[in-house]
Amino acid sequence: MFTGLITDMGHVRAIGGDRDKRIEFATRYDTDAIAVGASICCAGVCMTVIDKGAGWFATSATAETLSRTILGGWEAGTPVNLEQALKVGDPLGGHMVLGHVDGVARVAEVAPDGESLGLAIAAPDHLMRYIAAKGSVAVDGVSLTVNEIVEDRFAVTVIPHTRAVTTLGTLEAGRAVNLEIDMVARYVARLLGKE
């Protein structure tokens, strides 16, 4: 479980493998304190640490994960939002993020909004129905509040702090992003038989 509050912006250090990929991430985390088997949210995808060293950790991404997220397009040097799993007693400052990406969305528009950044993000039809104005979404692992919905897209504002400490500050129109809808919306739809 995560909050969508990014605690490090690392980058892909190396990628290897054929069908499944071993992905190594450079990080500022104290990797001595990270256990092999721990979960780290990498651009919104919950991944298991399989190896580590000073200033880096490695994960394994299956063909399924690579096909349903933006991870398949990564290469060495790609910047990545990172968040370690919550511990009991940690503050819940964002929203409940599972790290289970629901789909890939595309940045439709980027517009300066004072010191902030306005983003319009086009999501697949089957996910738009779960997105509500003033509700929460996770974009590349970052917890954001939805400002409004217009047809097949939703608008969010990225505040200056978030622009500086996440990859969202460098997004451009056309860029693909990982999208996780709000967990509550998913379960309400299921209980109402709408899924």
pTM: 0.94
Query: Distances in Å between the alpha carbon of 73 and those of 99, 104, 176?
Result: 18, 12, 10
**Length, in residues, of the chain:** 195
Contact status, residue 49 vs residue 59, Cβ threshold 8 Å = yes
Compute the mean pLDDT over every residue in the chain, rounded to the nearest whole number: 94
Query: 51 pLDDT exceeds 80?
Result: yes
pLDDT in tens, 63-112: 999 999 999 999 999 999 999 999 888 888 888 899 999 999 999 999 99
> In 3D, which of 132, 129, 19 has the Cα closest to residue 72?
19
Q: How far apart are CA 108 and CA 91, in angstroms?
A: 33
**Lowest-pLDDT range, 7-16, 160-169, 180-189?**
180-189
- Overall average pLDDT of the 126-135 stretch: 93
Q: How far apart are CA 133 and CA 156, in angstroms?
A: 10
> In 3D, which of 25, 21, 33, 32 has the Cα closest to residue 8?
25
Query: 193 pLDDT exceeds 80?
Result: no
> In 3D, which of 144, 115, 149, 143 has the Cα closest to residue 129?
149
Domains defined along the chain, listed by start: 8-84 (2.40.30.20), 103-191 (2.40.30.20)
The confidence band for 195, taking pLDDT boundaries of 50, 70 and 90, is low
- Overall average pLDDT of the 149-176 stretch: 97
- Overall average pLDDT of the 161-189 stretch: 92
pLDDT at 114: 93
